[in-house]
Chain A
Amino acid sequence: MHIAYHLIVFYIVCHLIWYLFREKKFWNQVCAALVLIMFLLRVFLIK
């Protein structure tokens, strides 16, 4: 179950990073970065 959880969160993290580099508007990049913080902490199961 933990592996499935990790894979799902990691998949979202990859998407966010990809979106961050592809996005042209600065504030959209900032928004993606803020969301990324929570998902990165989740990847490492830090609560």
Chain B
Amino acid sequence: MKNIKNKFISSLLVLFILVICFLSALKFLSMQKKEAVFPSEDLTSKKMLSAYLQSLKNTWGDTEIYIYEGQEKGGNLLITGGAHPNEPAGFITSVLLVENIQVTKGKIIIVPRANNSGFTHSDPQEGNPQRFSFETSTGRRQFRYGSRLTNPVHQWPDPTLYINPAGQKLSGTESRNLNRCYPGRKNGRLTEKVAYGIMELIKKEKIDLAIDLHESAPEYPVINAIVFHENSEELAALALMDLQLEGFEFSLEFSPKNLRGLSHREWGDHAHIMPILLESANASHGRLKGKTSPALIVEGKDKNYAKAAKLGRLFVPYGEEGVPLKLRVARHLAAVKSILSSLEELHPEKRIEIKNMPSSSKVRNTGIGPFLNPPN
């Protein structure tokens, strides 16, 4: 009798855990659902990265590429966001551009989710929220807050020591960091293939200038920065002056020649283009932060960072009012605009003309929501 009771309890427990597993699985799998992006009417074409590297087709590395081509020939610009999906300003800036711009001269290619796999999971033990959102005229639009690295379910196992395609020795987990895997490997790991696909895109689309949008923790020294390759030295310096006139403080950081595998180094060395990487201050992926919440991601307010700033431990000003996402996106937009006007000044034949680009001052004042297209 006792044995039957025992088996009955065990069966109930198994049933209970199956229900828990089912509910957990639904929650986890919802992270794989992509948020809709509503491109502006002037989108010329939309491709997938697998158009440049066939082996990415039907993998989690394949990602959308939005192409805007003007009537007149000019320069070709690539903008990548979401190389690190826990750095939302880069991703959101790309989405804002996709949903607003009209290109009249030259060509702009935008990749909002460069590391698509990184958007499908969250960093373990960080307690990060799955999503953050903005209010638009017809409702809220949600966006994923992902991980810096490719999902280990899509690329596993990590090596103990990772030697990236450029020959740099790194810790094993960095094999899943897209911005350490350039110039990529055609038949390598998933992240290396994504990097290789982006290199192929740069070469086949004859890109002249590429901007990689990132964020860094406020305690990290390379912050609010324009990181440049020697090919884009003049461009970066000119853009910096323009940004300072507009009231944005940026620092210029040279891409170290011995730090390999990063976009700002390998894009210039292997594709001979002008690469630039932009950084803004994101408290939500810093080590000093308190509780991570959608509010921290969007508002950027954190008591710990405000205190750390008072103690002189940060590399950026960080007050009680925080560094909101709208300001970080505004900084990226202002930098993109300044880089394009500098390009026109230095290389008039590569001029790129954009209409309807969200104004950095308006984004700063009104927020991001008004610039997002309402859900259809």
Q: A residues touching B (Cβ–Cβ < 8 Å)?
A: 1-2, 5, 17, 20-21, 23-24, 26, 29-30, 32-34, 36-37, 40-41, 44-47
Contacts and interface: CB of A to CB of B under 8 A. Distances in A.
A45 B24 contact: no
Contacts of A33: 13-14, 16-17
B25 interface: yes
Nearest to A25: B6
Contacts of B204: none
Given A2-B156, A37-B20, A46 B25 contact: yes
Contacts of A21: 6-7, 10
Contact of B24 (A26, A29, A41): A41
A33 B225 CA distance: 50
B354 to A, nearest CB: 39
A44 B28 CA distance: 12
Contacts of A26: 9
A40 B17 contact: yes
A40 B16 CA distance: 13
Contact of B17 (A1, A2, A36): A36
- By Cβ-Cβ distance, the 3 closest A-B pairs, closest first, are A33-B13, A21-B10, A40-B21
B152 interface: yes
Contacts of A20: 10, 13-14
B172 to A, nearest CB: 14
17 contacts: A2-B156, A20-B14, A21-B10, A23-B6, A23-B10, A26-B9, A32-B13, A33-B16, A33-B17, A37-B20, A40-B18, A40-B21, A41-B21, A41-B24, A46-B28, A46-B29, A47-B28
A23 B153 CA distance: 33
B14 A17 contact: yes
B365 to A, nearest CB: 40
Contacts of A36: 14, 17
A37 B21 CA distance: 6
B10 A29 contact: yes
A44 B22 CA distance: 11
Most chain A C-beta atoms within 10 Å of own C-beta, residue among B7, B10, B153, B156: B10
Contact of B121 (A23, A41, A47): A47
B14 A47 contact: no
Contacts of B28: 41, 46-47
Given A17-B14, A47-B121, A29 B9 contact: yes
B139 interface: no
Interface in B275-323: none
A37 B17 contact: yes
